[in-house]
Structure 1
Amino acid sequence: MRRLATCVLAALAVLTGVVVAPSAQAAPAPLRYVALGDSYSAASGVLPPDLTAPPQCLRSVRNYPNVIARAIGAELTDVTCGGADTGDFFTGQHPGVAPQLEALGRDTQLVTMTIGGNDSGVFINSVIACSTAGLATLGQGSPCKDRYGSSFTDTVRGTTFPALVEALRAVRKAAPDARIAILGYPWIVPASGGCFDRMPIATGDIPYLRELQATLNEVVRRAASLSGVTFVDLSRVSDGHDACQPIGVRWVEPVLQGLNPVIVHPNALGEAGMAARTMAVLRLDRR
């Protein structure tokens, strides 16, 4: 009788054009997502920490990869690690910490990262150098620019750029079918003015540091273009959210009076903003 009923229903469906849907459909498998990168990807210093991560990596469960994974229901493999540079894609950054490229495979569907800022120590060295110089002049003039000139930007263009191209091409090779995105870095300082009580950088060096960061982000964009990788530009959405802004507005914590013990790094609001921009650029649908 059951067989007869099935045949009758099938015949009726053909005659009437009505499709009888199954009572339930299997849920699609979650997107296989791998997060690579440095402290801006790891959200170093943002609480609470990721207790499953190597302690040296200072990874937070509120980093932008976790925000994205929760929003889209992805299966996240997070190997982000504070202090990482492009070389750590190929070799272990710490004892017991595998090269980041080892997390990728042919079944990887989505990859995100920030990387490049730590190459040659340019990012942190420039902030430290300009803060030290600014304190020496009590915030007057442009002592950092006067002393270092184009040395930082020369390093970014001449050393960081080819290293980024090599790293991104290696990511593409290791995950050939994945959607791959590299984020730029959100603004650390405003275009002018500054805030000497929180960012002890001389007034004349604020545009100098801003130009350096613009150069770094442009190098990241160019490397992404050459490697077939999507560039997530944060320059517009992070403008007005620099470290000189008040709590609840700023995305990056300042050197002094900040809430993050890892200075000049994104807070939870910044990580959420980076996640939102990435999802918009990649057109990732929320679950």
Structure 2
Amino acid sequence: MVKLNTSVRRFVTAVLAAGAVAATSAAVASAAPPATAVEYVNLGDSYSAGSGVQPAAPGSYSQCAQSNVNYAHLIARRSGMRLTDVSCGGAKTDDFYRAQYPGLRPQLDALSPRTGLVTFMIGGNDGDIFGTTVAKCVAAAITSPGAYAPCQQRYGTSTSHQVQTQTYPRLMRAFAAVRQHAPRARVAVVNYPWIAPTTPQPCPGFPVAPGDLPYTHGIQATLNDALRRAAAQTGVTYVDVAAASVGHDSCRPKGVRWVEPLISDVQTVTVHPNALGEREMADVTMRTLAAR
């Protein structure tokens, strides 16, 4: 038998109190979740899937790049829940309702009235917010050598405006749909850990101009705030891993950073959480759910 620590016990108790399927202490402690274990579903994109962190989840769709040690798998193992993880690299909110690849089903199909807990990370691929921002700012640094913030000068508030006017309504629709498909579940959205710091500083793995580090941070802050507001409007628990990740952005050294920079020898999928980040995200999520 594995002896559960206090935080795990509080976490499981909180989930059960929210209406999850009952499970005995012996069932929670078991290494293999029994049939009566809480049904836990993880949805979302590559940040939710843990893309780039090895090993891959057994039986997962290869193009989804889902990790066997992403935050959801870690939570499930620690708490004895029965996990169904349909998170997939590249997913957008639309992929909650449609098949992202042939052979896959819409992510919402994994939910049911029996689902006891749902977690997800989503929104960064809507309008290609993350990918486009990184590409534009790297290109701006290359074509404007010596400039302080060429990306901000060229694009200003256009991406943040896109988040406010286009991404936020999609998030609202997606959050409401999750609650509708899993009416008895505790539902939690996990925001995105910081990629860039708030101040200009040396960042050899993230080749953007100094002033564009806080600029990209600001765009991510706008997205995280959209997630927070959508959660508040739909009754979804907001897990703030970004606050916990301050000082652990991609400009920090190995062993400190939770997110890998664009140039990295740690994993093939860069600008994404590493193994340390996944562990810390699991911890923050469990603490948040246990406290509410």
TM-score (norm: length of structure 1): 0.88
Q: Which residue of structure 2 lines up, in the alignment, with residue 177 of structure 1?
A: 184
Q: Which residue of structure 1 lines up, in the alignment, with residue 202 of structure 2?
A: 195
Aligned length: 261
What amino acid does structure 2 have at the position aligned with 1:180? V
Are 2:248 and 2:256, in contact at CA under 8 Å, matched by a contact in 1? Answer: yes
Inter-partner Cα distance in structure 1 for 2:141 and 2:55: 33
Q: Offset of 1:136 from its aligned partner? A: 2.4
Of the three residues 113, 126, 132, the one matched with 1:119 is 126
Are 1:131 and 1:200, in contact at CA under 8 Å, matched by a contact in 2? Answer: yes
Secondary structure at the aligned position of 1:203 is classed as coil
Per-residue CA distance 1:146-190 (angstroms, 9 max, x = gap) = 111111001100000000000010000000000000011000011
Bigger radius of gyration among the two: 1
Q: Are residues 1:60 and 2:67 paired?
A: yes
Are 1:38 and 1:85, in contact at CA under 8 Å, matched by a contact in 2? Answer: yes
- Residue 241 and residue 139 in structure 1: after superposition, are their counterparts in 2 closer, same or farther (change >3 A)? farther
Which runs of structure 2 are paired with 1:36-185 in the superposition (5 Å)?
A: 36-138=43-145, 140-185=147-192
- Residue 205 and residue 73 in structure 1: after superposition, are their counterparts in 2 closer, same or farther (change >3 A)? same
Inter-partner Cα distance in structure 2 for 1:80 and 1:184: 15
Q: Which residue of structure 1 lines up, in the alignment, with residue 278 of structure 2?
A: 271
RMSD of Structure 2 on Structure 1 (CA) = 1.6
Inter-partner Cα distance in structure 1 for 2:97 and 2:25: 42
- Structure 2, unmatched stretches of 5+, are 1-23, 29-35
- Structure 1, unmatched stretches of 5+, are 1-23
Q: Offset of 1:140 from its aligned partner? A: 3.1
- Pick which of 127-136 and 266-275 moved more: 127-136
Are 1:139 and 1:203, in contact at CA under 8 Å, matched by a contact in 2? Answer: no
What amino acid does structure 2 have at the position aligned with 1:176? P
Secondary structure at the aligned position of 2:194 is classed as coil
Per-residue CA distance 1:15-59 (angstroms, 9 max, x = gap) = xxxxxxxxx997473111000000001010111111311111000
Q: Which residue of structure 1 lines up, in the alignment, with residue 239 of structure 2?
A: 232
Secondary structure at the aligned position of 1:215 is classed as helix
What amino acid does structure 1 have at the position aligned with 2:223? L
Inter-partner Cα distance in structure 2 for 1:132 and 1:90: 34
Per-residue CA distance 1:223-247 (angstroms, 9 max, x = gap) = 0111110000122210000000011
Q: Offset of 1:260 from its aligned partner? A: 1.7
Q: Are residues 1:241 and 2:248 paired?
A: yes
Are 1:168 and 1:229, in contact at CA under 8 Å, matched by a contact in 2? Answer: yes
What amino acid does structure 2 have at the position aligned with 1:168? F
Inter-partner Cα distance in structure 2 for 1:199 and 1:264: 9
Are 2:42 and 2:84, in contact at CA under 8 Å, matched by a contact in 1? Answer: yes
Inter-partner Cα distance in structure 2 for 1:262 and 1:25: 38
Are 1:133 and 1:144, in contact at CA under 8 Å, matched by a contact in 2? Answer: yes
Inter-partner Cα distance in structure 2 for 1:25 and 1:251: 33
Per-residue CA distance 1:64-111 (angstroms, 9 max, x = gap) = 000100110110000000000100000000111100000000000000
- Pick which of 25-34 and 185-194 moved more: 25-34
Q: Offset of 1:133 from its aligned partner? A: 1.0
Secondary structure at the aligned position of 2:119 is classed as strand
What amino acid does structure 2 have at the position aligned with 1:84? A
Inter-partner Cα distance in structure 1 for 2:84 and 2:71: 13
What amino acid does structure 2 have at the position aligned with 1:50? A
- Residue 87 and residue 124 in structure 1: after superposition, are their counterparts in 2 closer, same or farther (change >3 A)? same
Are 1:243 and 1:264, in contact at CA under 8 Å, matched by a contact in 2? Answer: yes
Inter-partner Cα distance in structure 2 for 1:63 and 1:162: 28
Q: Offset of 1:257 from its aligned partner? A: 2.9
Inter-partner Cα distance in structure 1 for 2:51 and 2:239: 20
